Chain A
Amino acid sequence: MALIEFENATVEFAIYNATGRSLKKQLLQMATGGQIGSDERGRVVVRALEDLSFSLHSGDRVGLLGHNGAGKSTLLRVLSGVYEPSSGSALIEGKVGSLIDISLGIDHEATGRENIYTRGALLGMTRATMRQHIDEIIEFSELGQFIDMPLRTYSTGMHLRLVFAVSTILRPDILLMDEWLSVGDEGFRHRAEARLRSMVEATKILVLASHSRELIMNTCNRVIWLEHGRIRMMGAPAMVMEAYFGRAPDELQAA
């Protein structure tokens, strides 16, 4: 059972400048009764998300829309459990998997095989599970002999194929994505696409941040439009997309 429930969730970052980061300055400030540095005590608070309330259930395929800086990445991080809301609550039930920054934790001096185990451990898979999957991963990534070579000898394509193959063996209840992953040359892309589709189909809740109208229309059954950290609009794709992108070109032509 997968469930996501946000209730007035707000995420605020305090921006600490060099002054705020310095313990010495803070102690001095205390000693001098706040005289020194009172004007340079710049504790600026950035509200990345404000008062989000929504709930997602099994079967939901949610598209996240919004301009750069609207809070999409922050929301994905709250969903993954990295950030806890500074006020309000975010209840997340189910195993969360993320296809954001799939290169995280990769060691360029280590071999492909070593990196598969490291990456697997980061994603919370046991060594035994990884051993079951390792042949499949090597085969899928088409690395052949290169699997026992250090990653720094890989081409960009080979690197991407490897991290893609490892990250897509997960079968999480809740899947988070920032744009659709597309890797490799023509031949590989089709197999990658099929693998990603099966992963997306197996997941109970999908949250996909994207700027692509087509992708969201084809994949999602709900859309959340974020603007300045607030929900501007939430509902069926067709409705929200129309408001966000304006009317579709063909509709405009018909009119």
Chain B
Amino acid sequence: MRKYSTVAAISDIAAATRRMPLVGVLGWQDVRQRYRRSALGPLWLTISMGVMIATIGIVFGSLFNSPMTEFLPSLASGIILWGFISTVVNEGCTSFIASDAIIRQLPIPLFVHVLRMAWRNMIILGHNLVILPIVFVAVGKSVHPVVFESIVGFALLLVNLLWVSLILGAACARFRDLSQIVASVLQVVFYLTPIMWMPRSLPSNVSVYLLDFNPAYHLLEIVRAPLLGYAPSALNWTVSAALGVLGWAAALIFYSRFRRRIAYWL
């Protein structure tokens, strides 16, 4: 029985990846809904994010006495990526709840709903990314060829976000107040992770705790560092990869156990 449900869980995930056209259609539909009767659509979010980056950049930049050429690109890429990470985790909590009508009516692999949520946020991330070249040009920062490493980093980040969303989606379908807890935790992690501040502003004895023991830092760094022109450290890569492997192992055990209950919890 146990073995059987693991196979069923894996085949649900495999079947979901075969339903990519459906994921694409639903994800686009979500984004298009934001464009309806609004010429800018999700770009409104991009604009407000841009304004936020400019404001924080000026205030914190002068507060920390950091040179703008360095601080602003780091802040911009950090906020854009964190926006993606935190939205995926937050919406991961509701990925099954939000699709309850479909789940209770059509036997579509459940992981499709997680992928749809991730795809929708990737499209929105694409919108927000237009801020980066503007910032880079504004402060006169050039792009290093190492930037392509961020694609690999992003893939690894996505792998990690997917297992987190899968577990949270199922758990939040059962315990509805869990999503509030997750939102608060994300808020705390945002301040603990070097997004609004530069890692080197920390005294070295603190940085071990705030950086090395912070998984969010490693996951952020494998995408952000190449964007800023330097390669992520070996530790960044190792921790991110290890998280991906262990996380998916845990997610598979969890999903095997509870996948068939999800429809009942909605």
Binding site for B on A (CB under 8 A): 13-14, 16, 21-24, 26, 77, 80-84, 86, 96, 98, 100-101, 104-105, 107, 109-110, 114, 117-118, 121-124, 126-127
Contacts and interface: CB of A to CB of B under 8 A. Distances in A.
Given A23-B177, A82-B104, A127-B21, 10 more contacts: A13-B264, A21-B174, A21-B176, A104-B106, A107-B29, A109-B33, A110-B32, A114-B29, A123-B106, A124-B19
A149 to B, nearest CB: 13
Interface string B169-185: 00000111110010000
B248 to A, nearest CB: 23
Given A98-B105, A121-B22, A83 B32 contact: no
Q: What band does the interface of chain B fall in when counting residues whose beta carbon is under 8 Å from A?
A: 20 to 34
A21 B266 CA distance: 11
Contacts of A122: 22, 102, 106, 108
Nearest to A81: B107
21 contacts: A21-B175, A22-B177, A23-B178, A80-B105, A80-B106, A80-B107, A82-B104, A82-B106, A82-B107, A82-B263, A83-B264, A84-B260, A96-B107, A98-B106, A104-B101, A107-B33, A110-B29, A121-B21, A124-B19, A126-B21, A127-B21
Contacts of A124: 19, 22, 108
Nearest to A92: B107
Contacts of B21: 121, 126-127
Contacts of A107: 29, 33
B100 to A, nearest CB: 11
Nearest to A76: B105
A21 B29 CA distance: 31
A109 B36 contact: yes
Contacts of B22: 121-122, 124
B180 to A, nearest CB: 9
Contacts of B107: 80-82, 96
A81 B265 CA distance: 16
Contacts of B32: 109-110
Contacts, number: 71
A225 B1 CA distance: 31
A96 B106 CA distance: 10
Contacts of A24: 177
Contact of A82 (B105, B174, B176): B105
A154 to B, nearest CB: 16
Contacts of A80: 105-107
A127 B103 CA distance: 22
Nearest to A85: B260
Contacts of B36: 109
A82 B33 contact: no
B102 A105 contact: yes
- Determine which residue in A13, A26, A105 has the highest number of CB atoms from chain B within 10 A of its CB, and name it: A105
A77 B36 CA distance: 34
B175 A100 contact: no
A21 B106 CA distance: 25
Going nearest first, the 7 A-B pairs with the smallest beta carbon separation are: A81-B107, A23-B175, A84-B260, A121-B22, A121-B25, A109-B36, A21-B176
B102 A23 contact: no
B106 A23 contact: no
A86 B25 CA distance: 33
Contacts of A118: 25-26, 29
Contacts of B263: 82-84
- Determine which residue in B32, B260, B264 has the highest number of CB atoms from chain A within 10 A of its CB, and name it: B264
B162 to A, nearest CB: 21
A81 B107 CA distance: 5
Interface string B236-266: 0000000000000000000000001001110
A241 to B, nearest CB: 29
